[in-house]
Structure 1
Amino acid sequence: MRALIKRLLEILGDESLLLGVIKDEMIAIRDKFGDARRTEITEEAPDIEMEDLIAREDVVVTMSHQGYIKRLPVNTYRSQRRGGRGVTGMATREEDFVEHLFVTNTHDTILFFTNRGKVYSLKGYEIPEAQRQARGTAIVNLIDVEPGEAVTALMPVVKFADDVYVVMATRQGTAKKTELTAFAAIRRTGIIGISLAPDDELIAVKMVGEDDEILLVTRNGMSIRFGQDDVRAMGRTAAGVRGIELDPGDIVVGMDIARDNADVLVITNNGFGKRTSVSEYRPQRRGGKGLKACKLTDKTGHIAGVKLVREENQLMLMTMAGYVIRFQISDVPRMGRYAQGVKAMALEEGDQVISIARVSSKIAEDLED
């Protein structure tokens, strides 16, 4: 024991001897326990994208006339028969009403086209979820729209493909085509999508492929169908070309893509609707007066919207008072272009249909009770 104490005191009293002992012991530990490092030291942890944490799910997005937007699960609205009254889609205030309604996915990009021709974007999950009767979030809190600027067209985009174009239609009958990729990167303050005349506004936007044809329908029941290749591709700031020649006082209220084996469904503001085979709308050159799309009377009112539909689709209608109804397209009878249609939705006095949305067969299955 005395020998050990003497040895330890010698080590503590001689710094070089102490360092030598420490070195020998560290080498022994290394030889016995040494292996490759199992952790990695970095300056900062890798970023986790919010999108990676968001579930992919189909949702209904609604936006009011005064710019309040929200998203809801697609099963919020139960399926009903044509002619029903519907359920309340949101709580509205005086002089406000639901203006936009569509089905999209939380991971899709939503492009917001305004009446002034500017374009903004959000991801589906960036639109706050709310209860069915909630008013929603003011769009000015999500995108930097300017005073007097209103969102007039919304377009969900799954992928910004090189061979896809965006076709825009204005109230005064102008049509314009631009590459979809031109809208892939949009700053928060927005970018120009189309240059407009002082008395014109942007009212509809669609994606088109190589062989697609465009159908424009006016408030007074006129229509024109022409190939998308009849409109040459232009840059974002171009003004476009004439799509349809309008009678005095008439305006364009809707645009869709005219595909074979589909029906043209028109809905009037007084709740009348019908579907007509797209083959009855013969292709023409753009810029003409077009063909009659619907017989209109005081009872039917004017055209509120148009969609290209198939038998397996469902339709959602929204009214100025905030009521929503969803029913099978097969519940709406096929009629000729000159027919006025049947009652598609029962309206309260003073109420009007102001927004329609087509629901695909896949989404329709999810909507079933």
Structure 2
Amino acid sequence: MANPEKLLDLPLEEVIGDRFGIYSKYIIQERALPDVRDGLKPVQRRILYAMHQDGNTHEKPFRKSAKTVGNVIGNYHPHGDTSVYDAMVRLSQDWKVRNVLIEMHGNNGSLDGDPPAAMRYTEARLSPIASELLRDIDRHTVDFVPNFDDTTEEPIVLPSRFPNLLVNGSTGISAGYATDIPPHHLGEVIDGAIMVMEKPDCTVGDLMTVIKGPDFPTGGIVQGIDGIKKAYRTGKGKIVVRGRSTIEPLKGGREQIVITELPYEVNKANLVKKMEELRLDRKVEGIAEVRDETDRTGTRVIIEMKKDGDAAGVLNYFYKNTDLQITYNFNMVAIVNKTPKLMGLKDILAAYIEHQKEVVTRRSAFDLKKAKERQHIVEGLIKAVSILDDVIQTIRASKDKKDAKHNLSEQYGFTDAQAEAIVNLQLYRLTNTDIQTLQQEADELKETIAHLEAVLGSEKMLIKVIKKELNTVKKKYAAERRTTIEHDIEEIKIDLEVMVASEDVMVALTKDGYIKRSSLRSFAASNGEDAAMKETDRMLLQQEMNTTDTLLVFTNKGHYLYLPVHEMPDKRWKELGQHVANLVPIDEDEEVVQAIAVKDFEEDLYLSFITKNGMIKRTELKQYQAQRRSKPLVALKLKDNDECIDVHLTDGSANIVIATRLGYGLWFDEQEAGLVGPRASGVKAVNLKDGDVVAGGKVFWPEEKPDLFIATQRGSVKKMAIAKTLEKSSRARRGLVMLRELKKSPHRIAGIEIVNDEDTMMLRTEKDTKVPVKVSELRSTDRYNNGSFVIDQDESGDVIEIWKNLK
């Protein structure tokens, strides 16, 4: 009868948790993270060890990669051949690894991300420096464990004659842990390790006098000493890596940017493609061509400029918007005592030194044992030579080898090992020369044993040996540093001219919020006709601007929209345009009240805001320059159902006139309102009666001697010479009455405007009647005059809005 099934009654979450825990432990320890001692992940260690065992070393010919991969899979790493070959290829790529551990013949990939040739085509062998990782592995320097099928053994770590973890770096992702350790300069790292041995209490600052920072195989420039210092102290830190480039002159006054080194692990083909896309999409201006001229002599990417192109500006744009500059985040996690640990620079060096102490101690113990065994044999041989005739006679009288050994031990006191050596001795070794050689060997063995015992008996001697071996590796393999370290991270400033082709255009914005820009050619072709808009709409702004300018659009809710001209929809003059809500989302009930064109935010100019409830706020224009523009920004803070009704750009010397619905007018200097920040609500401009609101607030310059145009809800208009009819006062007062109060059907101000005789004013009524009024046809009146009627209120309804005709 078959065995019944054994079922465990366990909750699912417990089973999954348990299984995932086992899996996590496996991939953390056995797959994705490097060991702090030799800087290798298990698959890399197995590849190097398999090649070493196979004699596939640097002084021998290259061997097919497929043979090595098969060897690794068959003996040590029972996983897919692709993963083994990929790991093998990476160890041979001199743009990924600072000191390559495998030399490869054939296509082993490229900076452009091309795949390597299949393993049946490529050939490989260990590099000279890889042999330093494996040196002395057969002298009991490290522990071995059985392989997966118990047919052979593999090392759990390599002896590692240099601090490979820092020299070649590492990158990997496992469950709950990731590691990113950049490559460093071999000579610097060895100097750092020696410093830690000589001065165990040295600081990160001391170490950074020798280990300057990462040294990437692709070179480049690293910026941010503070980030390096933090990473070396804590294991985590951030630096900026940028490509190396120069600007070269060309014929005809043009320039070209030449990029010769890229940031670490950046795909060159993708970078060139991205640069070309930015050029084609006209995100950046002034580039004639981007091309890749890389050949066997090295990386060379050319960005050729047009005649008026700004090479330095384009380079900055590419630093900011492509992988020509990247941020590298240190995350120095390695396996220490079978546990993942985030480590600083000194921790890593200290762990490596401890490993070396163990390696040298174990090697010395192994060599000492061998030396003592040999010394014992040599002593026996010397003794045998001194009584040679007797020894020969004894051997000749013996029955066989076993008997000879027994007789030698019995008669002359030789040990079993010595007797074995004597009976195996070849006759030619009995010459006079060989006796001298034996004596010389005995003396050498005595010295060797004394030295090894000294090493094993003294920490100082042990460290001396490690230092000597490290210096030998440094002398043999250290090359020039490739990466330049710069102290500060440079702030990249991009001129708008680099991103935008400078072009004069006509910009139009309507009161209902429809916006567009048109070429001057399209505008000229319309013969001065109005831009297309809805019947009920009117033009709020129509102005010639440059694509490098910015339009600030203000709403009644105290917001402003930051609209660079080059981002506005480009339409023909006769087309409607696009609603601003499509560019920046605003509320359905939010209305546009004013638009101001800005060429330069750094000019000493100010924005003055007037609100319905009688507040005024003045802020420097530069405070309204925005980086983010995807949503409405705060222009001023509004209280208690207040609304922004007027916004003006001033130079600090303007005068302000405010009119209230009930007919009061107040005139004062703009400087009466002090400067505040963008989010402030400002100060009181006019002292309102109960039930009164501001009908309008306008600015003027006294030297212009302008008139004030007033329209009432009953359709009456008048103009007043401000200087003659109003008294200049200070803010927060009631002001002077500008209309004669009538008991029956009193006039209420619908709007005001500062005008000259050339202006034409437009009035709009409730029933959407639009009435033009030429200012030159109005005579100036005093404050107590209610003006003259230009519309029939009974027929058209109240006047609800007035504006200056822009044509």
Q: Hey, what does 2:675 align to over in structure 1?
A: 233
SS at 1:283's partner residue?
coil
Q: Hey, what does 2:785 align to over in structure 1?
A: 339
How far the C-alpha of 1:287 sits from its partner, in A, is 0.3
Which of 708, 720, 725 is the matching residue for 1:276? 720
Task: Give per-residue Cα distances to partners, 1:147-196, cap 9 Å, x unaligned.
Answer: 55433333333443532111111111011110011112262213211112
SS at 2:501's partner residue?
helix
Which structure is higher in strand share?
Answer: 1
SS at 2:757's partner residue?
coil
Alignment of 1:168-179 (within 5 A): 168-179=609-620
Task: Please tell me whether the aligned partners of residues 739 and 747 of structure 2 are also in contact (alpha carbons under 8 angstroms).
Answer: no
SS at 2:597's partner residue?
strand
Q: Name the CA shift for 1:158/1:340 in 2 (closer, same or farther; >3 Å).
A: farther
Task: Please tell me whether the aligned partners of residues 665 and 735 of structure 2 are also in contact (alpha carbons under 8 angstroms).
Answer: yes
Task: Please tell me whether the aligned partners of residues 253 and 305 of structure 1 are also in contact (alpha carbons under 8 angstroms).
Answer: yes
How far the C-alpha of 1:128 sits from its partner, in A, is 6.4
Question: C-alpha distance in 2, partners of 1:210/1:256?
Answer: 14
Q: Hey, what does 2:642 align to over in structure 1?
A: 200
Question: C-alpha distance in 2, partners of 1:99/1:240?
Answer: 30
Q: Hey, what does 1:101 align to over in structure 2?
A: 540
Question: C-alpha distance in 1, partners of 2:796/2:594?
Answer: 28
In the alignment, does 2:510 pair up with 1:62?
yes
Report which of the two structures shows the higher radius of gyration computed on alpha carbons: 2
How far the C-alpha of 1:121 sits from its partner, in A, is 2.3
Which of 315, 338, 354 is the matching residue for 2:801? 354
Q: Hey, what does 1:82 align to over in structure 2?
A: none
Q: Hey, what does 2:604 align to over in structure 1?
A: 163
Task: Give per-residue Cα distances to partners, 1:122-148, cap 9 Å, x unaligned.
Answer: 24572665777x876433112221455
In the alignment, does 2:659 pair up with 1:210?
no
Task: Please tell me whether the aligned partners of residues 763 and 799 of structure 2 are also in contact (alpha carbons under 8 angstroms).
Answer: no
Alignment of 1:249-328 (within 5 A): 249-260=691-702, 261-279=705-723, 280-295=725-740, 301-319=747-765, 324=770, 326=772, 328=774
Task: Please tell me whether the aligned partners of residues 99 and 355 of structure 1 are also in contact (alpha carbons under 8 angstroms).
Answer: no
Task: Please tell me whether the aligned partners of residues 179 and 233 of structure 1 are also in contact (alpha carbons under 8 angstroms).
Answer: yes
Task: Please tell me whether the aligned partners of residues 747 and 786 of structure 2 are also in contact (alpha carbons under 8 angstroms).
Answer: no
Q: Name the CA shift for 1:352/1:68 in 2 (closer, same or farther; >3 Å).
A: farther
SS at 1:244's partner residue?
coil
Q: Hey, what does 1:117 align to over in structure 2?
A: 558
Question: C-alpha distance in 1, partners of 2:588/2:533?
Answer: 27
SS at 1:110's partner residue?
strand
Question: C-alpha distance in 2, partners of 1:130/1:37?
Answer: 39
Question: C-alpha distance in 2, partners of 1:273/1:51?
Answer: 46
Question: Gapped runs of 5+ residues in structure 2?
Answer: 1-249, 259-271, 286-496
Task: Give per-residue Cα distances to partners, 1:17-39, cap 9 Å, x unaligned.
Answer: xxxxxxxxxxxxxxxxxxx9999
> What TM-score does the superposition give when structure 1 sets the normalisation length?
0.70
Q: Name the CA shift for 1:234/1:200 in 2 (closer, same or farther; >3 Å).
A: same
Which structure is higher in helix share?
Answer: 2
Task: Please tell me whether the aligned partners of residues 317 and 357 of structure 1 are also in contact (alpha carbons under 8 angstroms).
Answer: no
Question: Gapped runs of 5+ residues in structure 1?
Answer: 1-35, 79-87, 93-97, 360-366
What letter corresponds to residue 282 of structure 1 in structure 2?
A: E
Task: Give per-residue Cα distances to partners, 1:190-227, cap 9 Å, x unaligned.
Answer: 32111121321211111122221111111121111111
Task: Please tell me whether the aligned partners of residues 101 and 357 of structure 1 are also in contact (alpha carbons under 8 angstroms).
Answer: no
Question: C-alpha distance in 2, partners of 1:256/1:68?
Answer: 24
Of structures 1 and 2, the one with the larger relative CO (CA 8 A, separation 6+) is 1
The count of aligned residue pairs is 307
Question: C-alpha distance in 2, partners of 1:102/1:273?
Answer: 24
SS at 2:528's partner residue?
helix
Question: C-alpha distance in 1, partners of 2:539/2:713?
Answer: 15
Alignment of 1:9-28 (within 5 A): none
Task: Please tell me whether the aligned partners of residues 708 and 752 of structure 2 are also in contact (alpha carbons under 8 angstroms).
Answer: yes
In the alignment, does 2:776 pair up with 1:330?
yes
